[in-house]
Amino acid sequence: MPKRTVIPFGPHHPVLPEPIHLDLVLEDEKVVEAIPNIGFIHRGLELLCEKKPFQDMVLVAERICGICSLVHGIGFVNGVEKIMNLQVPERAELLRVFWSEMSRIHSHLLWLGLAADAIGFESLFMHSWRVRELVLDIFEETTGGRVIFDAIKVGGVKKNISKETLGRILKQLDKIEEEYKQIADVFVNDFTIAHRWSGVGVLTKEQAELLGAVGPCARASGINFDVRMIKYGGYDKISMEPIVETAGDCYARALVRVREVYQSLDQVRQAISKMPEGGEVEVKVTGFPTGEYFSRVEQPRGEVIYYVKGNGTKFLDRFRVRTPTFANVGPLVQMLAGCDLADVPAIVLAIDPCISCTER
Amino acid sequence: MSDILKMCKTVVSSLRKKTFCQMYPFQPAKFHTHTRGHIKLDAAKCILCTLCAKRCPTGALEVDRVKGYWQINRYKCIMCIECVHACPVKPVKALTTEQQYAPPMAKMENERFDVEIKKPAAAPKVAAADAP
């Protein structure tokens, strides 16, 4: 039997600026086992629900993650609104869909750039982020923030978008799509990228189902599921079809994200066209939440579950978040077993890990 | 061969274009109507109701009704403008947000505004305003 070596991967490592830690057990150059260790940046955000009124908890929920902050906010308010039986106006729901799909475009472009950077494709990284900048400009114009948007509140949205701005955004979306097509072409057709990722970190459909993979990671393994299919929030007015690949390797995960950007662009256009003109964007909130609810929302990284329990006071009893990266750690360990040491960064990056989300 | 030259078209076309990035300190930044920026107080309008300090998520604001001052720690302020939303002064709020970020600071100090103490009757009912 060859000699076994343990190499610590992280918390400081070359893939991400986030502190994931894996103990890699190696036999020569092959990884036999990977032991994850999380908890470096636990901030105790869930306990804050005992100190902040439930309306202010939206601000805390939005700060769980820096990339999909708005979708976290939507997950929280969905739970509270269901407990309190609030009917959110249609325009507010579609504005939420608009912003969350824009978040997906921005998150996927960020990931595509980082992934290109991780395999040494610097120019593709720069160009992906250049396109992402156009999306961030739309966010800044409509919400006032580029990363933390602060646009969601219990009972609706804080900001409305005028008709002229929406017209301008539609034109801008055409520009984004045109620029994005060139980048997507490189991801889909370039030889170097396919050569680097094909067959690396394979997760079969059975394994993905068994280990509970979520989001693009599950869809790349052939699981036809997307939480947007349960039609939460304003998604009942939007038609969509989940994007599925069957190969289950890193390249399939990249292709799912590449195609999801087109899907999101289509959904943003649908949301804008179906938005009723004028009308309120928020309802008045009276009373306090009593009861509990599990809210499920599709983040760019996968399914996030919010558990909210109110006790009839302005403070919540319990607030619990199950983030997509946490669900994907199990599949990640499965993918790492048997791979080469040099493939570890590519595989870790392919699940799009967000450690700040995971540890909250 | 053409498989590994997919990026060339984009690279060549961007060579002909101007720099995409905005050279920020030399060019002024663009601000929009929704931009959340520097918090500004109109001390003449402030009624020292302390609602802004209660809503502040980071505890950057301190309001003293006895000594009559309103102060902000710019290092703690995250510009969420919850205080601006909470300000009850009508028709024009005492707290506003400028469409400009705070100027750079070299010293860690609180910015203090002296506010004239008005009659207690002018203060709003805090309990009623706090309820959702």
pLDDT digits (tens, 9 = 90+) for A10-58: 777 767 777 888 888 888 888 888 888 887 888 888 888 888 888 888 8
Rounded to 5 degrees, what angle do the CA atoms A194, A199, A200 make? 95
Q: What is the mean pLDDT of chain A?
A: 86
Shortest CB distance from A140 goes to which of B4, B32, B55? Answer: B32
Give me the percent of chain B exceeding a pLDDT of 70: 86
pLDDT in tens, A121-135: 888 888 888 899 889
Test A55 with B132 for CB contact under 8 angstroms. yes
pLDDT in tens, A232-278: 888 888 888 888 888 888 899 999 999 999 999 999 998 888 888 87
Residue A105: per-residue pLDDT:
92
Cβ neighbours for B12, distance < 8 A, ≥ 6 positions apart? none
Shortest CB distance from B36 goes to which of A144, A185, A190? Answer: A144
A298-324 mean pLDDT: 88
Lowest mean pLDDT among A218-227, B65-74, B112-121: B112-121
The full 3-state SS of chain B, as one line of letters, equals CHHHHCCHHHHHHHHCCCCCCCCCCCCCCCCCCCCCCCEEECCCCCCCCCHHHHHCCCCCEEEECCCCEEEECCCCCCCCCHHHHHCCCCCCCCEEECCCCCCCCCCCCCEEEECCCCCHHHCCCHHHHHCC
- Residue A212 touches partner B, C-beta closer than 8 Å: no
State the pTM of this model: 0.85
- Residue B9 touches partner A, C-beta closer than 8 Å: yes
Cβ neighbours for B42, distance < 8 A, ≥ 6 positions apart? B92, B94, B95, B96
pLDDT band at B125 (very low <50, low <70, confident <90, very high): low
pLDDT in tens, B49-62: 888 888 888 888 88
Place of tokens 């060019």: B27
Domains of chain A: 4-359 (1.10.645.10)
A160-183 mean pLDDT: 88
Test A144 with B32 for CB contact under 8 angstroms. yes
Test B132 with A60 for CB contact under 8 angstroms. no
Shortest Cα–Cα distance, A96 to chain B (Å): 17
Residue bearing the bigger pLDDT, B5 or A9: A9
- Residue A161 touches partner B, C-beta closer than 8 Å: no
Shortest CB distance from B6 goes to which of A133, A145, A190? Answer: A190
Test B132 with A52 for CB contact under 8 angstroms. no
- Judging contacts by C-beta atoms under 8 Å, the chain B residues touching residue A286 are 132
At the topology level, CATH places domain B36-117 in Alpha-Beta Plaits (3.30.70)
The answer to whether the bond into A11 is cis (omega within 30° of 0) is yes
- Judging contacts by C-beta atoms under 8 Å, the chain A residues touching residue B1 are none
- Judging contacts by C-beta atoms under 8 Å, the chain B residues touching residue A124 are 7
Shortest CB distance from B4 goes to which of A56, A183, A190? Answer: A190
B42-69 mean pLDDT: 84
Q: Which amino acid is at A104?
A: R
Between helix A122-143 and helix B8-15 the angle, nearest 10°, is: 60
Residue A262: per-residue pLDDT:
92
Domains in chain B: boundaries: 36-117
A102, A263 contact by CB (below 8 A): no
